[in-house]
Amino acid sequence: MIATAVAATAEHTASSGMPQFEPSVFGHQIFWSIASFFILLYLLKTHVLPAIEKVLDARGNKIRSDLENAEQSRRLAEKAAIDTQKQLNAARRMAEQTIEEARLESARYREMARESLSQELAKKKSVALAEIETAKQKAMTELHHVAVDIAMLATEKLIAKNMTKTETNKMVQEAIAAIQEHKGQVH
């Protein structure tokens, strides 16, 4: 009975004890743990890690290259913007210069036109004055002729009628009045 109980207890202990603490299975597990680790290390180092690093490096290079391209494009865009600004400034300066030149040119043309007009007017004025003078001379000549005619007429009448002094003065006065009247008509 006691022996049965001891055996049962031993069996119970054996069945409830932790199998991990059985020393007979330590040796090969130590060896194979280390060996398996290095086998996996070898496999990963030769087959997996290079493949992953290759992909990551390729992606890194691609990103780096894209960034460099983007940076280059940015620099080109900045340069283009600066060039455009310079061209705009140059165009603005040229436009201002052209406007200034046009302004000066127009002022010069205006001055020239004014001078030309002034000369033209002066010329026309002198022509007009000359024509007036000619007309005046002509009128004076005509007046002279009229006065001579009147004088001749008066002389003829004086001689013909043998007029008295009073009558003569009267006739002269009439002649002068006639001349004055004629002169007024000429002016």
Binding site for another protein (CB under 8 A): 1, 15-22, 25-34, 36-37, 39-41, 43-45, 47-49, 51-52, 54-56, 58-59, 62
- Smaller CB distance to another protein: residue 37 or 109? 37
Minimum Å distance from CB 7 to another protein? 15
Minimum Å distance from CB 28 to another protein? 4
Cα–Cα distance measured from residue 106 to residue 114, given in angstroms and rounded to the nearest whole number: 12
The token duo for 160 is 């013909």
- Smaller CB distance to another protein: residue 38 or 109? 38
- Smaller CB distance to another protein: residue 28 or 136? 28
- Smaller CB distance to another protein: residue 42 or 109? 42
How would you classify residue 18: left for phi > 0, otherwise alpha for psi between -120 and 50, otherwise beta?
beta
Minimum Å distance from CB 23 to another protein? 9
How many Cβ atoms are within 10 Å of 139's Cβ, its own excluded? 15
For the chain, how are helix, strand and coil distributed in percent, rounded to 5? 95, 0, 5
Residue type at 141?
A: T
